[in-house]
Every structure is written in C-alpha cells, then in structure tokens.
Structure 1
Amino acid sequence: MSEPYADTLLAGVAAAMAPVGLSEVPELMSRVDRKYLVTASTMAGLAAELGDRFCVLGIGGRRQFRYTSTYFDTPDLLTYRQHRQDRRRRFKVRTRTYLDGGGQWLELKLNGARGSTDKRRIPYDGVSGQTLTREALEFVRDTLLSELRLIAPETLHPVLATDYKRVTLVDRSGAARLTCDTGLNCRDTHRSTPARGDLVLLESKSTDGKALVDTVLRRMGVRPVSVSKYCLGVAALHDLPANRWHPVLHRYLAHRPSAPRRAAARAATRGA
C-alpha cells in the first residue's frame, strides 16, 4: 500500500493535539538540532507515541503554516562549501517570511566549536526578502565578528529560495520542540525541484540534545540524517558535489542531474 501524503497526515496530527500560543513555544535560539527524514506512516506512529505529552502551535485558528526563505551566499558559494566541508565555524544568512502571520525576519544561523546551533535575527518587515539592506549587512558583519570571530564576506546575493509548510509540536516540559516540514520546493531564478510528497522532514530542537522525540525515534529504529534545505537545493539545482547529503538528496528531492552539467559543475567547484 502506498504511503499517505505527508501534508494531509500532518494536518490530521495537528488537529488532534491541543493548541498552544506562540508565547508558549520555547525560542531555543541556542540549541542542539537533530534532523530526521521519515515516511508519513512513521510520522503517524511517532505522533501516537508522543500522545498528550506534546501540544501544537496554533495561531489564528491555523496549525499548519506556510514559510518562504531566501538564502544569501557569495558568488563562489562560500557558505555552501563551508557546510559541505563540515567546517566547525560556519554560518548561513537568510530572510524568512511567515506567510500566514509572524512577519519577516533576517536570520543568521551560526555553528560554532561546541557543535550547537545559535540563531540571531532581527525584524525585516517592509523590505524585499531578496535584498540585504545596509543595516542587514552591518548586523551580519557585527554578529559574525563577535560570535565566531569571522570577517563577513564582502558580497552576498540571493542564491536559493525554499517554500514549505510547517507544523510545530511543543514538548509540554518547555525544553524542546519538533518542527515537521512538508511540501518543500527549492528554486532559483532558472529552475526548481520539489521534495517527495510522502516524506516529512523533522527537526528536533532542544537545549541538551536529549529530547523525548529523539528517544522515541531511536526506539522506532529511525536515525538522524545530515541535511540542510539550502545545501540540498544548491546541490540539486547546480549539480554540485553533495558528499554526505547524497543519500538524502536522491531520496528526498525529485532530482536527477544530467551528466554534462554535473561534470561541468564539479570542474568549476575544483577551480573555486
């Protein structure tokens, strides 16, 4: 029997849970992240295991929200290469728009020597999500210097946009949350690649990396995966080396690179 579509399944999961307001969701700006790629039926089993120990974020009667993000990088894709090479100090710059309420933000995701993820952000309403203002660039420069001791690149421009739907489950203990993403589409100015409709991308976010969700998934035989929406999208659309993301790339995205483009992209990457 084929898998039920994940988007519909998640809507049902969210409808069955008690809602909580945005003020009750832990921000966890400094946290440990673990990501999982699961089928819709596995998601249903996870929801049953979590039971009433989790609530769902609800805003204005909605429990499933549309997001769009634009990622910025250098002309030679510095942040992509740093992530692919697993540099201990690295970053990503993006604007994120909450299409169903929540405004727009400029976000800087930082990975430091401790292996945790820190997120810094500032409101970005009233500005095109495809541009970085002078104030935005100053924020990036100041944050990278103070937090990672890195000099910001001189040039950052929009490279990739992602669209998806998200359901956020909240641990009643207040120490963790789980985001559940479906309907991912990665696009640039020339092309796009969608994700499979029967898979859910989960991200467990907790203060110490010991969330209940991680324990339950491990008991179910599900292991974390190395994945980044930005890096998957760039690898797929530009036919770049994906290294440790390769299994997820070919399982998750509807992507089949052409041999000539792949060879040209690898040659360009070697020369970078």
Structure 2
Amino acid sequence: MEFKNTLQGFIGISLAELKDRAELMQRANNKYVLDTDTLIVFLEAMQNDFCILKINGIRNFTYHNIYWDSPNLRTFYDHNKDRRKRFKVRFRYYLESNLFFFEVKIREARSMTYKYRLPIDIETYQTKKLPESLFGFLSERIHQHYAYTLANDFIPSIQINYQRLTLVSKQSVERITVDHQLLFTFEQQEDNLPYNRYIIEVKSTTGRSSVDRWLQHNHHRPVSKCSKYSIGVNLLKLAHKNTQFTPTIRRSFHKPMDSFKYTPLSSKPPS
C-alpha cells in the first residue's frame, strides 16, 4: 500500500491556519526514521487528532534547499562535535508556491531551536555569494543568541531536495513533518537516501509531545544524529570518513558507507 492513500483520511488545513495554530518558530524537535509500512500505521493513528496542510489540493510538497557553510564546513563540524550552540544557514525554495526564503536555524544550550527567515527573490537564491544584507541579518541573530561575531566567508555547500507533508494538531501546539525522497547534490555529484525510509520530525514547545509518547510506546526511539544537512555532507564530501552521522546512515537508512557511488547530477536548482 502506498502511504499517500492514507492522506485522504486527514482534514485539510490552510497555511494561514497552520501559522495561527502551530508556527513554532521557537521549538523543541525530535526526529524518527520509519519504513513505509510503519509510516502508514503511524499516519492512520494520527488521523483523528491532526489535520494536514493542503494548498490548492496539494498535500505533498517539494522543497529545494541550498545550505551555506564556511569553506572548512564550520556549521557541519559544530554539529559533528556536539556543540550545544550551533546553527544552520540555507536558502529554501517552495516549488508549488514559487516562494524563496533565507532561513537561519539556531540551536541553544537548552535544546531549543529558533528559526528566523526573510523572503528573497530567485536572483538571490541563485547567487554564489551571500549578500551583505542577508549576512547582516544572520550576524544579528547569532549575536543575539551567542554574543559573538561571524566572518562572512559563507559559500554554497550542498543542495538538498525532498518531498514533505505537514500535519498540525487539532488541540495542542504541535506539528509533524514527514520528509522523503531525499536527494543530495554537490557540483556534479549526487546521492540519495532509500525511498522507503521517511524522516519524521515532531515539533512542539517541550519536546515531550503526545506524538513522541505514541512513537516511543510503539518502540520507536528518537534518532539523535539525523540532520539532513550533515547526512548530505557526510555522503557527498566526507564519504570515506567516519563522522557522528555515519552510524545513522548505516543503521537507520540501511545504507552501507563503503557502497557509495556518485552518479551524474540530474536535479538542478530552479531557473
């Protein structure tokens, strides 16, 4: 059975309603990895308590993300070294709505994530140098949280494309995203995660939501090293090194590191 058939059992919710109920720009996150059969059981269990984001009849949306990092991969290594204070920088393109954003995600010592973003245009999305206005926005947010100064040495690192569906709780401030068909690209290289594996991210104000309890009661534990950016860097740039994300790639996605083979780039940014 294809999991998309299960989506018909959810009541649709608009983007405006989602933002009103559970925008969660400040949140705690837990990630889980499920296979297709388990995902279907999970979605069926959520139908009474959650709505699904639906825009123009679409429930499953395409995201293109360009992540920015320093030449020495500072943001990757901050995560790999388990630094409690870390951040990510990306451009995001929402294909179906044709919207572009500059986004900053900041992790604080209390395991809370803060997300900030600005709308951008397609010309900015395609740039190879971070504009000073966006670097200024990033610097202000970093100084606000960490009180230190950044150097503007950010360059495009890798691109990640995937499909996402979003569920929103009917009663509480809680949101679930399901990411699948992940494709990672860097220059003329690409790699992907198995298409029968799904990254479930539960977003709430505390990190101890009813969905977390349901998953853990059904023997699914949070996967701590499941950053899509860090997995992509490990696959494309550090394939022959063991990082803290290597065990996740092997165990959760059943992808042996010694079998990686790069294939020609077939997915390009929008133009």
Please classify the TM superposition score into its range, dividing by the shorter chain length. 0.7 to 0.9
Residue in 1 aligned with 2:193? 195
Further displaced range: 172-181 or 129-138: 129-138
- 1:217-236 equivalences under 5 Å are 217-226=215-224, 227-236=226-235
- 1:1-272 equivalences under 5 Å are 8-9=2-3, 11-25=4-18, 26-101=22-97, 103-131=99-127, 132-226=130-224, 227-239=226-238, 241-250=241-250, 251-252=252-253, 256-257=257-258
Separation of aligned partners in 1, 2:146 and 2:124: 27
In the TM superposition, residue 254 of structure 1 has moved relative to its aligned partner by 5.2
Report the residue type matching 1:234 in the other structure.
V
Report the residue type matching 2:244 in the other structure.
R
In the TM superposition, residue 67 of structure 1 has moved relative to its aligned partner by 0.2
Q: Percent identity?
A: 31
8 Å CA contact 1:18, 1:56 repeated in 2: yes
Measured against aligned partners, the alpha-carbon deviations of 1:3-57 in whole angstroms (never above 9, x if no partner) come to x6xxx41x22222211001112111000000000111111111122223111100
Measured against aligned partners, the alpha-carbon deviations of 1:165-185 in whole angstroms (never above 9, x if no partner) come to 001011111410000011000
Report the residue type matching 1:171 in the other structure.
S
Structure 1 gaps, min length 5: 260-272
Measured against aligned partners, the alpha-carbon deviations of 1:111-168 in whole angstroms (never above 9, x if no partner) come to 1121111111111124332432221111111111112213113300001000000010
Relative to structure 1, is the Cα distance of residues 238 and 45 closer, same or farther in structure 2, using a 3 angstrom cutoff?
same
Residue in 1 aligned with 2:267? none
In the TM superposition, residue 252 of structure 1 has moved relative to its aligned partner by 2.4
Relative to structure 1, is the Cα distance of residues 55 and 167 closer, same or farther in structure 2, using a 3 angstrom cutoff?
same
Residue in 2 aligned with 1:267? none
Relative to structure 1, is the Cα distance of residues 258 and 65 closer, same or farther in structure 2, using a 3 angstrom cutoff?
closer
Relative to structure 1, is the Cα distance of residues 188 and 255 closer, same or farther in structure 2, using a 3 angstrom cutoff?
farther
8 Å CA contact 1:130, 1:158 repeated in 2: no
Relative to structure 1, is the Cα distance of residues 61 and 51 closer, same or farther in structure 2, using a 3 angstrom cutoff?
closer
8 Å CA contact 2:234, 2:243 repeated in 1: no
- Structure with bigger helix share is 1
Report the residue type matching 1:249 in the other structure.
I
Separation of aligned partners in 2, 1:102 and 1:21: 17
Relative to structure 1, is the Cα distance of residues 255 and 139 closer, same or farther in structure 2, using a 3 angstrom cutoff?
farther
Measured against aligned partners, the alpha-carbon deviations of 1:195-237 in whole angstroms (never above 9, x if no partner) come to 1011111100001112221111001100000210100010111
SS at match of 2:136: helix
Further displaced range: 32-41 or 244-253: 244-253
Structure 2 gaps, min length 5: 261-271
8 Å CA contact 2:246, 2:257 repeated in 1: no
8 Å CA contact 1:236, 1:255 repeated in 2: no
Relative to structure 1, is the Cα distance of residues 155 and 242 closer, same or farther in structure 2, using a 3 angstrom cutoff?
same
Separation of aligned partners in 1, 2:187 and 2:232: 13
Report the residue type matching 1:193 in the other structure.
D
Residue in 2 aligned with 1:266? none
SS at match of 1:204: strand
How does the TM-score come out when normalised to structure 1?
Answer: 0.87
Separation of aligned partners in 2, 1:130 and 1:71: 12
In the TM superposition, residue 102 of structure 1 has moved relative to its aligned partner by 5.8
Separation of aligned partners in 2, 1:107 and 1:28: 14
